[in-house]
Chains A and B, each alone.
Chain A
Amino acid sequence: MTMSVGSLTPDHRIGDWLDVTADGKVVVRSGKVELGQGITSALIGVVATELGIDPKFVMCVAPSTEGPDEGFTAGSLSMSMSGTALRLASRALRRVTATGEGLPVDLASVTAVHLEVGVLEVFAEIDENPLAPSMPRREAQRTDLVAKLTGQPVYVHDLRLPGQIFGRVIRRAGQCLDLASSAAIDHVRLQDPDVVKIVRDGTFLGVLARTEYAAIRAAEKIETALEWVSLEDRLGETSSSQETVDRALTTDDRFHYVRVTRPYLLHASIGPACAIARWDDSGSFVEVWTHSQGVHPLRRELARALGLDVSAFHVVHIPGAGCYGHNGADDVAYDAVLLARSMPGVPIQVTWSRAQDLSCGPAGPAMEVEVAAETDDTGHIVNWDWYGSGEGHIARPGTVAGVSLLAHSEIQNGSPMPASADPSVAIGGGIIRNSRPIYDVPLRHAESTLRPSHIRTSAIRSLGAYLNVIAIEVLMEDIARSHGVDPVEFRLAHLIDERGIAVLLRAVELAGEASVGESNGRGIGVARYKGTGAWCAVVADVECIYRVQVDQLIVVADVGEVVSRDGVLHQLEGGAIQSLSWTLHESAPIARGAVNATGWTDYPMARFTDVPSVIAEVIDRPGEPFLGAGEAAAGPTGAAIANAVTSALGVRLTELPLTPAAITRALQ
């Protein structure tokens, strides 16, 4: 085999992915990082299964720039990329150790020679489907939960390196400090014996202190003492902007149309961004501990920003709080590198404030989608049009022109923040993601418009798929209603994708005839993530009079072969609940060209009383490629809730979130 498979390239040796220790344990080297999604235990399960050994003898090393470069842990691709590579590397190890069929690999017999063998060379000599499982499945329990539940130091926030001190940056979204007011800075330094140093470069300003509380205290004091000026024009211009085209829309009863919008969404992780950096004494090598989604891309971006070779950086992943896309992790790592540069040899841990974490990292872009369909005399869809517009869904380091690290727009020799872009079609696109319906309908016209950035935007879980699936599914249900056809029957009449049909029928079957409790509305949403990923169908039951209370969500998915059943269900449940929160509660306040949120009251999210029971199920497809589960439920859940609200109220709401105020407006 000479083709790449997953993250596996033809030059990879078994030892690039796996190692065996002297005491008989298998060490897994994946470039995919633990974001709270349980990927580590899923990858351990893949290896344990293929080698036929107990998962407790398999461990993952923290991904670092010494391990494989798998880009970002994003796009629900970890299982198809890393999982597939590890399955093949493990199977290659079976082959080269001549392990008999159905037997476990004898780890004591593994030698350095075995690990030198090229993974794909092993399969070049045999004709087989390398993706089919060869051994009974072994599921690995999550190993991180006990540590988290007993208060062990597991997050980068908890790391304490010898001699470590603490840093905070003084920064407000959309504003920059007025340097003329800097006398206040010296005052703080003189007053507080715990403050070690104040670092300033351009308008980048940070404080270093012996304790974390002293750093917070000093940063707050400086922030309030300084004058701030608005900075609306910091973002670069987008060259690819276009005006929206006028659409001459007929209002014929065979013509159906819907326009849906979503506001800016925030990552809103419970733990703020944090990183540690340490320069060596000579100032020529720096180590970084980060919860970034991509240690290699961050390393390249840091090197680019500072004009150094990548070999000057060693970047290690340590978990942070939950990550749902491009948040402030990379930015705070650069903050730490800049602050630590002023004190060679001393590790500096920098954590953002709650206000900074909500407002200074990238937000998920606002977006607008219009879909139109034409039906024939029998009510069958004969034409389908799609128009999507919004700001860029990506500004990750290395994906846009310029240095995409916030502090680089502040330091003296930096550069303006690059404009956000839209991801390539090859990786699923951004605005266009899931714009093509799962249904067998003729796509007549599709057009997307990338608008210039008003605020800093980048990837948030599922990108454009969330709103596109909502638009498609709302229109499908609309057409069904207007023709007096059952919405399930109407979908089935346009669905030829068998695995799509299977998840839809199973979700409907689980939902049963009766809606739950006091519910007065039921809605459905179904999609295949990116058109190439997991299939997912959701049925929502809601109570809706003046506000929406979701009573139950049924989520059924097909993610290909299941490695960890509970892990998949967990991702589906979490994805559905987060989507519920976006759909009903979330909207980032914007002012002066930036997110204007300083605390949780500025950005309400679903709380425990808002969350329904969630019944999740996965259809296992042994031997089918891994498809990933993290983003599959986002669109179908939003669509199911929106459709349930329409069925309860008899009025279609198309402006997200579906708040009591939005309901009142729609009913007027």
Chain B
Amino acid sequence: MTVARRLTINEEIVNVESRDDEPLLWVLRGQLGLVGTRFGCGEGECGACTVLMGGRPLTSCSIRVSDVTEPVTTVEGLASPDGTLHPVQQAFVDLQAGQCGYCISGIVMRAVALVDRRGADLTEAEVRLELDAHLCRCGDHTRIVAAVLQAASIKQ
């Protein structure tokens, strides 16, 4: 039984048609074609599908679309319309943080929320603790932590 519903994704109102129990992840990757949100485990354990809802990070595989009540931001919604990268994305490029890159769109989303919240006060220990919600198999942890700290350091 599908239901028509209206979501706010990346500051745009979109209409989707889905079952109540469909996880947000599959609505994003399916109907909306926003494939930057990656499927990793479907159980909220790896963090690859992290998006922001109302500015807070959450794994989009673990929330039913019917429970999405606030605006959602995905990795596709971070850069400016003119293509200028978000400072967190730019820091990842600068430090070449990411090998296979499968985990990084989720990590970037959590990092954006963290940098927004803590700004230049952010410490390395906090970054590590916060990113423990994510798995990275290529071993890019040190570069990723450094990139998040770099982005935080320039936050006003």
For chain B, which range describes its interface: under 10, 10 to 19, 20 to 34, or 35 or more residues?
Answer: 35 or more
Instruction: Judge whether A251 is part of the interface by a CB distance below 8 angstroms.
Output: no
Contact B74 A270 (CB under 8 A): no
Contact B39 A614 (CB under 8 A): no
Q: Mark B85-98, 1 if CB is under 8 A from A, else 0.
A: 10001001100101
Given A157-B38, A213-B30, A269-B137, answer yes or no on A319-B100 (Cβ-Cβ < 8 Å). yes
Question: What is the bound-complex CA distance between A574 and B96, given in angstroms?
Answer: 12
Instruction: Judge whether B14 is part of the interface by a CB distance below 8 angstroms.
Output: no
Question: What is the bound-complex CA distance between A268 and B92, given in angstroms?
Answer: 23
Question: What is the bound-complex CA distance between A202 and B102, given in angstroms?
Answer: 34
Instruction: Judge whether B138 is part of the interface by a CB distance below 8 angstroms.
Output: yes
Contact of A574 among B43, B74, B132, B140 (CB under 8 A): B140
Q: Mark A139-158, 1 if CB is under 8 A from B, else 0.
A: 00110111011111111011
Given A144-B101, A151-B75, A354-B40, answer yes or no on A36-B96 (Cβ-Cβ < 8 Å). no
Contact B35 A573 (CB under 8 A): no
Chain A residues closer than 8 Å to B26, beta-carbon distance = 211-213, 216
Shortest CB-to-CB span from B79 to chain A, Å, is: 6
Within B132-156, the residues touching A (CB, 8 Å) are 132, 134-145
Given contacts A157-B39, A600-B46, A608-B144, 5 further A-B contacts (CB under 8 A): A36-B138, A149-B89, A150-B79, A272-B39, A570-B143
Contact B33 A160 (CB under 8 A): yes
Chain A residues closer than 8 Å to B30, beta-carbon distance = 211-213
Chain A residues closer than 8 Å to B76, beta-carbon distance = 150-151
Shortest CB-to-CB span from B49 to chain A, Å, is: 11
Shortest CB-to-CB span from A137 to chain B, Å, is: 17
Contact A213 B23 (CB under 8 A): yes
Interface SS of chain B: loop
Contact A322 B39 (CB under 8 A): no
Instruction: Judge whether A37 is part of the interface by a CB distance below 8 angstroms.
Output: yes
Instruction: Judge whether B99 is part of the interface by a CB distance below 8 angstroms.
Output: yes
Contact A570 B145 (CB under 8 A): no
Contact A322 B40 (CB under 8 A): no
Chain B residues closer than 8 Å to A271, beta-carbon distance = 38-40, 48, 100, 102
Within A458-501, the residues touching B (CB, 8 Å) are none
Contact B105 A151 (CB under 8 A): yes
Chain A residues closer than 8 Å to B39, beta-carbon distance = 157, 271-272, 351
Within B107-146, the residues touching A (CB, 8 Å) are 108, 127-129, 131-132, 134-145
Question: What is the bound-complex CA distance between A612 and B139, given in angstroms?
Answer: 11
Contact B102 A354 (CB under 8 A): no
Chain B residues closer than 8 Å to A351, beta-carbon distance = 39
Chain B residues closer than 8 Å to A154, beta-carbon distance = 101
| Pairs A–B under 8 Å by Cβ, sample size 5 | A148-B105, A157-B38, A271-B39, A574-B138, A608-B136
Q: Which A residues contact B (CB, under 8 angstroms)?
A: 35-38, 141-142, 144-146, 148-155, 157-158, 160, 211-213, 216, 268-272, 319-324, 351, 353-354, 566, 570, 573-578, 580-581, 599-601, 605-609, 611-614
Given A158-B35, A270-B40, answer yes or no on A573-B105 (Cβ-Cβ < 8 Å). no
Q: Which B-chain residue is minimally distant from A37 (CB atoms)? A: B99
Question: What is the bound-complex CA distance between A397 and B26, given in angstroms?
Answer: 33
Contact B41 A599 (CB under 8 A): yes
Question: What is the bound-complex CA distance between A38 and B100, given in angstroms?
Answer: 8
Instruction: Judge whether B63 is part of the interface by a CB distance below 8 angstroms.
Output: no
Shortest CB-to-CB span from A249 to chain B, Å, is: 37
Contact A599 B43 (CB under 8 A): yes
Given A573-B139, A608-B131, A609-B129, answer yes or no on A149-B22 (Cβ-Cβ < 8 Å). no
Instruction: Judge whether B36 is part of the interface by a CB distance below 8 angstroms.
Output: yes
Shortest CB-to-CB span from B2 to chain A, Å, is: 9
Given A145-B101, A353-B42, A599-B43, answer yes or no on A578-B139 (Cβ-Cβ < 8 Å). yes
Question: What is the bound-complex CA distance between A405 and B108, given in angstroms?
Answer: 36
Question: What is the bound-complex CA distance between A606 and B46, given in angstroms?
Answer: 12
Question: What is the bound-complex CA distance between A155 and B40, given in angstroms?
Answer: 13
Chain A residues closer than 8 Å to B99, beta-carbon distance = 36-38, 322, 570, 574
Contact B29 A212 (CB under 8 A): yes
Contact B35 A581 (CB under 8 A): no
Contact B96 A566 (CB under 8 A): yes
